[in-house]
Amino acid sequence: MGFPQDATLGDAGEFGLIAELVALFPQGEQVLVGPGDDAAVLRVRHGHVVVSTDLLVEGNHFRLDWSSAEDIGHRAAAQNLSDINAMGGRASSLTIGLAAPADLPARWALDFARGFAAECSLVGASVVGGDLTRSDKVVIAVTVLGSVTEAPVLRSGARPGDTLALCGRQGWAAGGLAVLGRGFRSPKVLVDAYKRPEPPYDAGRTAAEAGATAMIDVSDGLLADAGHIASASGVAIDVHAAAFDVAEPLQAVGAALGADPMQFILGGGEDHPLLATFPDALAVPPGWLRIGTVSEGSGVTVDGAEYDGPTGWTHF
Are 97 and 221 part of one and the same domain?
Answer: no
- Distance in angstroms (rounded) separating the CA atoms of residues 195 and 213: 31
Are 172 and 287 part of one and the same domain?
Answer: yes
Q: Which residues touch 202 (CB under 8 Å, ≥6 apart)?
A: none
pLDDT digits (tens, 9 = 90+) for 85-132: 999 999 999 999 999 999 999 999 999 999 999 999 999 999 999 999
Are 140 and 209 part of one and the same domain?
Answer: no
pLDDT at 42: 66
Q: In this structure, is residue 309 part of a structural domain? A: no
Are 62 and 129 part of one and the same domain?
Answer: yes
Are 131 and 189 part of one and the same domain?
Answer: no
Q: Report the CATH number at residue 67.
A: 3.30.1330.10
Q: In this structure, is residue 170 part of a structural domain? A: yes
Q: Could you give the number of structural domains in the chain? A: 2
Q: In this structure, is residue 97 part of a structural domain? A: yes
Q: In this structure, is residue 213 part of a structural domain? A: yes
Q: In this structure, is residue 313 part of a structural domain? A: no
Are 172 and 144 part of one and the same domain?
Answer: no
Are 103 and 183 part of one and the same domain?
Answer: no
Binding residues: 38, 52-54, 61, 83, 130-131, 155, 217, 219-220, 270, 313
pLDDT digits (tens, 9 = 90+) for 268-306: 999 999 999 999 999 999 999 999 999 999 999 999 999
Are 175 and 112 part of one and the same domain?
Answer: no
Range of the domain at 135: 9-148
Q: In this structure, is residue 288 part of a structural domain? A: yes
Nearest CA to 211 out of 160, 279, 152 is that of: 279
Binding residues for substrate: 61, 270, 313
- Residue pair 172/242 in contact by the 8 Å Cβ criterion: no
- Distance in angstroms (rounded) separating the CA atoms of residues 304 and 311: 15
Are 142 and 172 part of one and the same domain?
Answer: no
Instruction: State the maximum Cα–Cα separation within the chain, in Å, rounded to a whole number.
Output: 63
DSSP assigned state of 313 = -
Angle at CA of residue 141, ends 140 and 146, nearest 5°: 130
Binding residues for ATP: 130-131, 155, 219
Q: In this structure, is residue 154 part of a structural domain? A: no
Residues pairing with 50 in the sheet = 146
Binding residues for Mg(2+): 38, 52-54, 83, 131, 217, 220
Are 141 and 204 part of one and the same domain?
Answer: no
- 95, 116, 148 - which closes a domain: 148
Q: In this structure, is residue 156 part of a structural domain? A: no
- Distance in angstroms (rounded) separating the CA atoms of residues 23 and 29: 16
211: left (phi over 0), alpha (psi -120 to 50) or beta: left
Each residue's pLDDT expressed in tens, for the chain with a length of 316 residues: 577 788 887 887 766 777 787 788 788 877 777 776 555 566 777 678 888 889 999 999 999 999 999 999 999 999 999 999 999 999 999 999 999 999 999 999 999 999 999 999 999 999 999 999 999 999 999 999 998 887 899 999 999 999 999 999 999 999 999 999 999 888 999 999 999 999 999 999 999 999 999 999 999 999 999 999 999 999 999 999 999 999 999 999 999 999 999 999 999 999 999 999 999 999 999 999 999 999 999 999 999 999 998 888 765 5
Are 135 and 42 part of one and the same domain?
Answer: yes
Are 91 and 207 part of one and the same domain?
Answer: no
136: left (phi over 0), alpha (psi -120 to 50) or beta: alpha
- 97, 117, 148 - which closes a domain: 148
- 148, 177, 197 - which closes a domain: 148
Q: Report the CATH number at residue 277.
A: 3.90.650.10
